[in-house]
A and B are shown apart, each in its own frame.
Chain A
Amino acid sequence: MFDLDKWQEIFSTINKNRMRTFLTGFSVAWGIFMLIILLGSGKGLQNGIDAQFRQDAVNMIQFGSGTTSKTYKGLQAGREIRFTNEDYEFLRKSIDGLDKVSSRYFMWQNRVISYKSEYGVFDLISAHPDYIDIENATLTEGRFLNQIDIQKRRKVVAIGEPVRKALFKNGKSPIGEYIKLNNIPFQVVGVFTDKNERDATRVYLPISTAQMISGGADRVHSFAVTSNLSAAESEVLEKNIRTKFAERHRFDKDDQNAMWMWNTLKEYKKFSNLFLGIQIFVSIIGAFTIIAGIVGVSNIMIIVVNERTKEIGIRKAIGATPLSVVSMILFEAVLITGLAGYIGLVLGVGVLSLVSSILPQNDFFQNPQVDFTIALVSTLVLILAGTLAGLMPALRASRIRPVVALRDE
Chain B
Amino acid sequence: MITLKSLHKSYVTGNNSLHVLKGISLEIEKGEMVSVMGASGSGKSTLLNVLGILDNYDSGEYYLNGMLIRDINETKAAQLRNRTIGFVFQSFNLISFKNALENVALPLYYQGVPRRKRNQIAMEYLDRVGLKDWWTHLPSELSGGQKQRIAIARSLIGKPKVILADEPTGALDSVTSMEVMDLLQEINDTGITIIIVTHEHDIAMRTQRSIKLKDGVIETILYHKSTYKAVSSF
Q: With A16-B97, A16-B98 given, is the CB distance from A318 to B74 under 8 Å?
A: no
Q: Looking at B49, B74, B98, which has the most chain A CB atoms within 10 Å of its CB?
A: B74
Flag the segment in B60-68, B78-86, B188-196 that touches A. Answer: B78-86
Shortest distance in angstroms between A76's beta carbon and chain B's nearest beta carbon? Answer: 96
Would you call B111 an interface residue if the criterion is a C-beta within 8 Å of the partner chain's C-beta atoms? Answer: yes
Please determine whether B82 and A322 come into contact, CB atoms closer than 8 angstroms: no
* Residue of B55, B74, B107, B114 touching A321 (CB-CB under 8 A): B74
Please determine whether B55 and A401 come into contact, CB atoms closer than 8 angstroms: yes
Shortest distance in angstroms between B139's beta carbon and chain A's nearest beta carbon? Answer: 11
Would you call A316 an interface residue if the criterion is a C-beta within 8 Å of the partner chain's C-beta atoms? Answer: yes
**Closest partner residue, chain A, to B49 (CB atom):** A403
Please determine whether B87 and A317 come into contact, CB atoms closer than 8 angstroms: yes
Q: With A5-B115, A12-B102, A13-B97 given, is the CB distance from A318 to B110 under 8 Å?
A: yes
Q: For chain A, which range describes its interface: under 10, 10 to 19, 20 to 34, or 35 or more residues?
A: 20 to 34
CA distance A406 to B87 in the complex (A): 12
Please determine whether A322 and B75 come into contact, CB atoms closer than 8 angstroms: yes
Shortest distance in angstroms between A22's beta carbon and chain B's nearest beta carbon? Answer: 15
Please determine whether B52 and A317 come into contact, CB atoms closer than 8 angstroms: yes
| B interface size (C-beta, 8 A) | 33
Would you call A314 an interface residue if the criterion is a C-beta within 8 Å of the partner chain's C-beta atoms? Answer: yes
Q: With A8-B115, A311-B95, A406-B93 given, is the CB distance from A317 to B54 under 8 Å?
A: yes
Interface mask (B84-103 → A, CB under 8 Å = 1, otherwise 0): 00010111011111100010
Would you call A377 an interface residue if the criterion is a C-beta within 8 Å of the partner chain's C-beta atoms? Answer: no
CA distance A398 to B74 in the complex (A): 9
Please determine whether B109 and A9 come into contact, CB atoms closer than 8 angstroms: yes
CA distance A168 to B205 in the complex (A): 113
List of B residues within 8 angstroms of A9 by Cβ = 109
List of B residues within 8 angstroms of A314 by Cβ = 93-95
Would you call A371 an interface residue if the criterion is a C-beta within 8 Å of the partner chain's C-beta atoms? Answer: no
Would you call A216 an interface residue if the criterion is a C-beta within 8 Å of the partner chain's C-beta atoms? Answer: no
List of B residues within 8 angstroms of A311 by Cβ = 95-96
Would you call A315 an interface residue if the criterion is a C-beta within 8 Å of the partner chain's C-beta atoms? Answer: yes
Would you call B37 an interface residue if the criterion is a C-beta within 8 Å of the partner chain's C-beta atoms? Answer: no
The 5 lowest CB-CB distance pairs between A and B, nearest first, are A319-B82, A16-B97, A319-B110, A321-B78, A321-B75
